[in-house]
Amino acid sequence: MNIHEYQAKELLRQAGVPVQPGEVAATPSEAEAIAARFGTAVVIKAQVHAGGRGKAGGVKLAKTPAEARAHAERILGMSIKGLVVSHVLVAQAADIASESYVGIIVDRVSKRPVVMASPAGGIDIEEVAATTPNRIRRVAVDPRYGLQPFEAMQLAFFLYHDVRRARAAARILRQLYDAFIASGASLAEINPLVSTPTGELVAVDAKISIDDNELERHPELAALRDETAEAPSETDARKANLTFIKLEGNVGCVVNGAGLAMATMDLVKYYGGEPANFLDIGGSSNPEKVVNALRIITSDAQVRVILFNIFGGITRTDDVANGIVTAIRQHPLRVPIVIRLTGTNEQEAVRILASAGLSAVTDMDEAVRAAVALVGAESVS
Amino acid sequence: MNIHEYQAKELLRQAGVPVQPGEVAATPSEAEAIAARFGTAVVIKAQVHAGGRGKAGGVKLAKTPAEARAHAERILGMSIKGLVVSHVLVAQAADIASESYVGIIVDRVSKRPVVMASPAGGIDIEEVAATTPNRIRRVAVDPRYGLQPFEAMQLAFFLYHDVRRARAAARILRQLYDAFIASGASLAEINPLVSTPTGELVAVDAKISIDDNELERHPELAALRDETAEAPSETDARKANLTFIKLEGNVGCVVNGAGLAMATMDLVKYYGGEPANFLDIGGSSNPEKVVNALRIITSDAQVRVILFNIFGGITRTDDVANGIVTAIRQHPLRVPIVIRLTGTNEQEAVRILASAGLSAVTDMDEAVRAAVALVGAESVS
Amino acid sequence: MSIFIDRTTRLLVQGITGRDGSFHTRQMLEYGTAVVAGVTPGKGGQAFDAGPAATAPPVPIFNTVADAVEETGANVSVIYVPPVFAADAIMEAAAAGIPLIVCITEGLPVLDMTRVYPFVRDHGARLIGPNCPGLITPGVCKVGIIPGRICAPGPIGLVSRSGTLTYELVDQLTRAGFGQTTCVGIGGDPINGTNFIDCLAAFEADTATTAVVMIGEIGGTDEQDAARYVSLHMSKPVVGFIAGRTAPPGRRMGHAGAIISGATGTAAEKVHAMVEAGIPVGDRPVDVITLLRERVAAVGSAVG
Amino acid sequence: MSIFIDRTTRLLVQGITGRDGSFHTRQMLEYGTAVVAGVTPGKGGQAFDAGPAATAPPVPIFNTVADAVEETGANVSVIYVPPVFAADAIMEAAAAGIPLIVCITEGLPVLDMTRVYPFVRDHGARLIGPNCPGLITPGVCKVGIIPGRICAPGPIGLVSRSGTLTYELVDQLTRAGFGQTTCVGIGGDPINGTNFIDCLAAFEADTATTAVVMIGEIGGTDEQDAARYVSLHMSKPVVGFIAGRTAPPGRRMGHAGAIISGATGTAAEKVHAMVEAGIPVGDRPVDVITLLRERVAAVGSAVG
């Protein structure tokens, strides 16, 4: 789960990191009032879960409260990569002597949190990694010990030569690490970490992503979720405990299991179709989940055929069949449906489907070919 | 550094441990007022750094505020193992269904914190260990991971069979461990941990010792030191950065280094004398330390001779000689002094001593024999 | 023969009285697995009833894994506890000296796994999973949730990061007459206890296994590392499948580990590495069978 | 020969610009030790001046141990930093791959040591100390603070938990004509990196050492464990001394580790264990020389 810049900064502030002062505004007049209160130049920053908001015009410097209002007016309501800006952060503009990058991810190769530092701040770190890898230094932290002071100092000396700023940076790295662990993050970064002309360090932009699996443990973080920042169908799916990712095609897929779901999409493509989504109804699916899945899929106007691919194991195929029948009774389908079912309680499932006038196949390949053919036939007709 | 029961309980309360409610009183009327406020039976408990205060009459049950006052009157000012009681804890009496012991020490063999649990609560744990060792269960905690929930549950099930109390005990063990680590303790115990008739657990007595080496890091804990609870000469020595332990003999010893100090005491005893103290002036001793050392030693009226044993390494023997001369000029000695000096700047030291009419030997054995002989000669005379 | 589990397996079920734990314990017993103990804190001393149809005796339940191991000599543990307790359950099993721990639970926080991984290693244990279907040695014993009826004994080893996709392929193998020595699901999380190489090495060492099917998916570099390993260290034929050719970058495709980060972890990259290493990769699941038939036949004739 | 340090020792000093660090660096250089680097964060790039009398070139200073190791190939580190930073300094040295770390600093929190100990072991390094005088291979090199002038080269190994008491005994040995292979102070803390057994084993393996003096004190069971080890594994004669016969129980006698807890850790118990194991123990420091003379002579005649 991504959280907004202002939320990430608040977590860092609580961990002791010196953060650029700022407040959130939902209206231009709030932005103006905040700027007036600061009495300094401010930066108006769109709060959206999308990179490249600067290039999109979502970040503007304002020298006066009136200017702050004007920028906020333009940015609020703006759409950046399909996401509408509902809040801006009004932050005191920082005096910048130099910009660095510090960040932490969980690295699957070392199986450890990896702390990264680069004097090339303000730039996308993946770009730095690709073009000038020697400008990034990494420490894979042994989670049994945590980020040690000496490790933080090694990274800090890579950023700054003078010991005062190096010590400050090392402190910030350890605070960032603490915030990373305490919040169950999968990513935490400060970019840029600004050094002012007087040698102070301040976090000017920050990003934190929380591991979804940690949210049960951290209700206070789960509460930070901004549903306006997500595609509505994905929010809907999440609440129904389904894993759903919207794509651009027209073959709606309902599958149990992530690997089988991907393989199904791949097979749709192989046979010349285009999957409309990734959707995993999970292991122990009940009829209700299937009903929700069908509702979400059919709310996509692009979908021209629905393809079920269910390999019963823990999943009882009769549950799935019941879900399909229930859903169709509630909301008759406007597109054809192809059902592949095999495994646990398969015969019962076939009987349930048949009672509702539906048929099923047992072979995945056959089902996918049939679904793709239906789309082709329809688009020809 | 030992802290009082009420201070230990406050640390545990902050860590989340359910602690018997109580407040500290320095006068009988304060005790009465607290008891009145509780409106229940209370226990009046002497706050001293000494075991066996119960047997000494330092713990009394009071059913009424008046009784609380009377008990406090008797306990305040009482002397337990040489320590005068200046405060009592007035605690709500607990309903006791059963008593357990839980505690943590740092074990030098496993080099780990060891968490101990015993259903034989209320008894001295060393006694339990000696008489019924199967009534104690231990877990040596890997400090890289901390006390894990499953480890706490293993100990908790040793204390309680029902899962509700076991879960509560496991939670308390983990909170105790957290408090132990967070406060830099060398010992933390709850004894007894009481189970009430309704199945609640509550810490009725608690003890925490802080590692002296952690105090620099924990000024808030260093501030808990109660100097009235220590021998004045030891407080004095601590403030002068000397390690001093008062003993019963009459040969005052001033030595650099703990091992050599012990060996010197042993040699005094070997030659028939009795050391008056252990005193280590440390490695890089300066003249002021020597002055303080002499002041502390000579404040003991039992001391009949002073024996210096200095092996110069980091310690410069001329510094020591200067200290001796300065001290004697300020406060002429009322007892004879024997000085053994060897090592760094030895010749200069001898010159300094000679200028003040003092002589020194270089052999430890010879010096100790001389000192013991002086006591013998004196006691004969 | 087989890898990891066999006739000597004495299985402990952590979370035996839970919804998933009890259901699958009955399935494992029915398959003939020696389930010797269960753990549910607070239910120590009770017994787990395998149901009226079961021929196996009731399974004793213990409060702790240590108690269970001491009493029953369990040597494999399978974990069905909720995700926030799963890390502790794995560590408890490792600390109790269980050498093989299989964690079915999905949804473990990845930071928990950063601590679990070295803990398990410090205790000399092997973890399979988490977020995996477990493993099965057809006809002998099953640990986890792979449906027994789709498997058959035979000479093929199978290792997969997936769950139902594994069933799909096992089912196709069985229908095509390729029985299995052992099928292992290593799980779809970014940090797991056992990787492809561990399983490939075990299959290489297993005398009964003559060829291996490996089923990967997008995310990470496990398949690429495995490909390099195969080209250097394996004499037995390996055929593969990779799911996620159509997955968009930057999105988590269900499995926590199934995510393309930047340019790494794509299906194309993995397929390329595998083909380079001499591992033919099927475009469709059904192609795996064809490829396997060619390779096994080819090896057969080379040997014969 | 010698143990732990010799002519190949390339020494790094952590805290080289501090009061103790600079003083003892000069002493070590004067003794002929190859001090190749120093570390003081923020002083990287500067040089440590050994003083007008020194023949050695200035010692380069680095910000981090990793930098120092990379530039100079230092293979031993000695630590003179304040106690609250010492744990980090030890871990930094271990992480940088230094195989022998000697921590002179006194006053490390014992909980720090519970974490440092496994860290050092995880990195395959040896820690001597903390709270120790270091070690010296007379005539070759010294690491720490043992005064060089009281030592002389010879065939006796010495290991001690003490500081000045070590000097006392080394001085008596030297005056009595017993030179030393190496003198090691393992430190007086309850948790330290190297114990008696580690040193005894090294002396047993060192061809130049013909007999060993071990100097213990009250607290813990290291001497008892060492006694058992000597009786089982050592062919060379060992004589001993134990300080603290007059120490009262329950009081910390200066050293954090010198405390009698209940009935364990007393001098009597240690002396008993050592004598039982064939290690004669002197009542007075001077007796150690007599005992050593008897044992070395006896061995000499048995061999001769």
Instruction: Give the Cα separation of A126 and D258 in Å (integer).
Output: 55
Read off the tokens for B280.
Answer: 């280590």
B378 band by pLDDT with thresholds 50, 70 and 90: low
Please answer yes or no on whether D95 and A157 come within 8 Å at the CB atom: no
Read off the tokens for A91.
Answer: 């932050």
This prediction's pTM: 0.94
Are D98 and D124 contacting, i.e. CB atoms less than 8 angstroms apart? no
Instruction: Give the Cα separation of D66 and D93 in Å (integer).
Output: 8
CA D79, D84, D87 angle in degrees (round to 5)? 55
Beta strands B137-140 and A83-84 are: unpaired
Q: Nearest by CB to B211, from D84, D109, D163: name it.
A: D109
The per-residue pLDDT for C114 is: 97
> Which residue in B142, B144, B145 has the most chain A C-beta atoms within 10 A of its own C-beta, making it the best mutation to test that interface?
B144
Read off the tokens for B23.
Answer: 């407040």
Tell me which chain B residues have a C-beta less than 8 angstroms from the C-beta of C43: 163
Structural element, H or E, at residue D66: helix D65-72
Tell me which chain C residues have a C-beta less than 8 angstroms from the C-beta of A243: 254
Q: Nearest by CB to B148, from C63, C66, C91: name it.
A: C91
Please answer yes or no on whether D42 and A150 come within 8 Å at the CB atom: no
Marked catalytic residue, from C24, C123, C233, C255: C255
Q: State the average pLDDT over residues B255-274.
A: 96
Read off the pLDDT of residues A54-108 as tens digits, 9 standing for 90 and up.
888 999 999 999 999 999 999 999 988 878 899 999 999 999 999 999 999 999 9
Asked whether residue C302 carries a pLDDT value surpassing 50, the answer given is no
Domain boundaries, chain C: 11-128, 146-303
Please answer yes or no on whether D41 and A166 come within 8 Å at the CB atom: yes
> Which residue in D91, D101, D114, D117 has the most chain A C-beta atoms within 10 A of its own C-beta, making it the best mutation to test that interface?
D91
**Cβ contacts of A171-175, under 8 Å, gap ≥ 24:** A171/A16, A172/A17, A172/A18, A172/A102, A172/A201, A172/A203, A173/A102, A173/A115, A173/A117, A173/A147, A174/A147, A174/A149, A175/A12, A175/A15, A175/A16, A175/A17
Asked whether residue D303 carries a pLDDT value surpassing 80, the answer given is no
Read off the tokens for A1.
Answer: 């789960």
Expressed in angstroms, the distance from the first to the final Cα of chain B is 43
By the CB < 8 Å criterion, does B145 face chain A?
yes
Domain boundaries, chain B: 21-92, 98-222, 231-380
- Residue among A211, A178, A176, A6 at smallest CA distance from A89: A6
Chain D, window 112-131: residues with a beta carbon less than 8 angstroms from a chain B beta carbon: 113-115, 117-118
Mean pLDDT by 10 residues, chain A (381 residues): 95 97 96 96 92 88 96 93 90 95 95 96 84 94 97 98 96 98 96 96 96 94 86 84 91 95 97 96 80 91 96 88 92 93 92 95 96 78 44
CA distance A342 to chain C (A): 9
Active site residues per annotation of B: 101, 189
C neighbour chains, 3+ CB pairs within 8 Å: A, B
Asked whether residue C35 carries a pLDDT value surpassing 50, the answer given is yes
By the CB < 8 Å criterion, does A146 face chain B?
no
The per-residue pLDDT for B284 is: 65
- C-alpha distances in angstroms, B43 versus B34, B94, B192? 11, 9, 14
Same fold, C11-128 and C146-303: yes
Q: Which of A187-196, B151-160, B281-290, C274-283 has the lowest mean pLDDT?
A: B281-290
Tell me the one-letter amino acid at B227. E
A neighbour chains, 3+ CB pairs within 8 Å: B, C, D
Q: Nearest by CB to B145, from C41, C89, C119: name it.
A: C119
D54 band by pLDDT with thresholds 50, 70 and 90: low
B103 beta partners: B116, B189
Asked whether residue B184 carries a pLDDT value surpassing 90, the answer given is yes
Instruction: Give the Cα separation of A97 and A198 in Å (integer).
Output: 8
By the CB < 8 Å criterion, does D46 face chain A?
no
Asked whether residue C90 carries a pLDDT value surpassing 70, the answer given is yes
Tell me which chain B residues have a C-beta less than 8 angstroms from the C-beta of A145: 144
Mean per-residue pLDDT over chain A, rounded: 93
Structural element, H or E, at residue C92: helix C83-95
Please answer yes or no on whether C42 and B148 come within 8 Å at the CB atom: no
Q: State the average pLDDT over residues C176-199.
A: 97
Read off the pLDDT of residues B137-153 as tens digits, 9 standing for 90 and up.
999 999 999 999 999 99
The per-residue pLDDT for A47 is: 95
Read off the pLDDT of residues B49-78 as tens digits, 9 standing for 90 and up.
877 888 889 999 999 999 999 999 999 999
By the CB < 8 Å criterion, does B334 face chain A?
no
CB atoms within 10 A of CB B127: 11
Q: Nearest by CB to C64, from B153, B162, B167: name it.
A: B153
Tokens 């240590």, residue located:
C66
CB atoms within 10 A of CB D191: 24
The per-residue pLDDT for B20 is: 95
Phi, psi of D240 (to 5 degrees): -140, 170
Which 8-state DSSP code applies to residue C8? T
Read off the pLDDT of residues D15-48 as tens digits, 9 standing for 90 and up.
999 988 999 999 999 999 999 999 999 999 999 9
Asked whether residue D51 carries a pLDDT value surpassing 90, the answer given is no
Mean per-residue pLDDT over chain D, rounded: 94
D166 band by pLDDT with thresholds 50, 70 and 90: very high
Please answer yes or no on whether B314 and D255 come within 8 Å at the CB atom: no
Instruction: Give the Cα separation of B295 and B283 in Å (integer).
Output: 19
Percent of chain D with pLDDT over 90: 87
Read off the tokens for A100.
Answer: 């660095």
Q: Nearest by CB to B163, from C41, C92, C119: name it.
A: C41
Helix axes A346-355, A317-330, angle to 10 degrees: 20
Tell me which chain A residues have a C-beta less than 8 angstroms from the C-beta of B144: 144-145
The per-residue pLDDT for D302 is: 35
CA distance B143 to chain A (A): 8
Please answer yes or no on whether A145 and B145 come within 8 Å at the CB atom: no
Please answer yes or no on whether D89 and A150 come within 8 Å at the CB atom: yes
CA A97, A100, A104 angle in degrees (round to 5)? 155
- Per DSSP, the residues of B286-324 read -HHHHHHHHHHHHT-TT--EEEEEEEESSS-HHHHHHHH
By the CB < 8 Å criterion, does C84 face chain A?
yes
Read off the pLDDT of residues C93-107 as tens digits, 9 standing for 90 and up.
999 999 999 999 999
Chain D, window 52-81: residues with a beta carbon less than 8 angstroms from a chain A beta carbon: 63-66
Structural element, H or E, at residue D114: helix D110-122
**What is the fold of D146-303?**
Rossmann fold (3.40.50)
Tell me which chain A residues have a C-beta less than 8 angstroms from the C-beta of D95: 148, 150-151
Tell me which chain A residue has its CA closest to the CA of residue B142: A144
> Which residue in B139, B147, B150, B164 has the most chain C C-beta atoms within 10 A of its own C-beta, making it the best mutation to test that interface?
B150
- 3-state class of A368 per DSSP? helix
Read off the pLDDT of residues D232-241 as tens digits, 9 standing for 90 and up.
999 999 999 9
Number of residues that make up chain B: 381
CA B23, B27, B31 angle in degrees (round to 5)? 40
Are A279 and C111 contacting, i.e. CB atoms less than 8 angstroms apart? no
Which 8-state DSSP code applies to residue A336? -
- C-alpha distances in angstroms, D193 versus D8, D101, D128, D167? 22, 9, 5, 21
Domain B231-380 CATH class label: alpha beta
Tell me which chain A residues have a C-beta less than 8 angstroms from the C-beta of D88: 148-150
- Per DSSP, the residues of A112-179 read EEEEEEES-TTS-HHHHHHH-GGG-EEEE--TTT-S-HHHHHHHHHHH-SSHHHHHHHHHHHHHHHHH
CA distance B82 to chain D (A): 16
Q: State the average pLDDT over residues C200-217.
A: 98
Active site residues per annotation of A: 101, 189
Asked whether residue C264 carries a pLDDT value surpassing 90, the answer given is no
The per-residue pLDDT for C261 is: 82
Tell me which chain D residues have a C-beta less than 8 angstroms from the C-beta of A142: 122
Q: Cα D155 vs. chain centroid, distance in angstroms?
A: 17
Tell me which chain A residues have a C-beta less than 8 angstroms from the C-beta of C219: 108
Q: Which of B234-238, B343-347, C45-49 has the lowest mean pLDDT?
A: B234-238
Which CATH architecture is the domain A98-222 placed in?
2-Layer Sandwich (3.30)
Tell me which chain A residue has its CA closest to the CA of residue B145: A144
Q: What is the CATH number of domain C11-128?
A: 3.40.50.720
Instruction: Give the Cα separation of D243 and D285 in Å (integer).
Output: 9
Q: State the average pLDDT over residues C255-277.
A: 90
C303 band by pLDDT with thresholds 50, 70 and 90: very low
The per-residue pLDDT for C53 is: 65
Please answer yes or no on whether C109 and A267 come within 8 Å at the CB atom: no
- 3-state class of B174 per DSSP? helix
D neighbour chains, 3+ CB pairs within 8 Å: A, B
Q: Which residues of B178-211 are buried (b: 16+ CB within 10 A; e: fewer)?
A: bbbbebbbbbbbbbbbbbeeeeebbbbbbbbbbb
> Which residue in C164, C260, C281 has the most chain A C-beta atoms within 10 A of its own C-beta, making it the best mutation to test that interface?
C164
B313 band by pLDDT with thresholds 50, 70 and 90: confident
Q: Nearest by CB to A256, from C133, C164, C244: name it.
A: C164
Please answer yes or no on whether D89 and A145 come within 8 Å at the CB atom: no
Are B341 and B312 contacting, i.e. CB atoms less than 8 angstroms apart? yes
B377 band by pLDDT with thresholds 50, 70 and 90: low
| Domain B21-92: which CATH number of 3.30.1490.20, 3.30.2320.80, 1.25.40.10, 3.40.50.300 | 3.30.1490.20
By the CB < 8 Å criterion, does C18 face chain A?
no
CA distance B170 to chain C (A): 12
CA distance B144 to chain A (A): 5
CA distance A31 to chain C (A): 33
The per-residue pLDDT for B206 is: 96
Please answer yes or no on whether C88 and B150 come within 8 Å at the CB atom: yes
CA A260, A264, A269 angle in degrees (round to 5)? 150
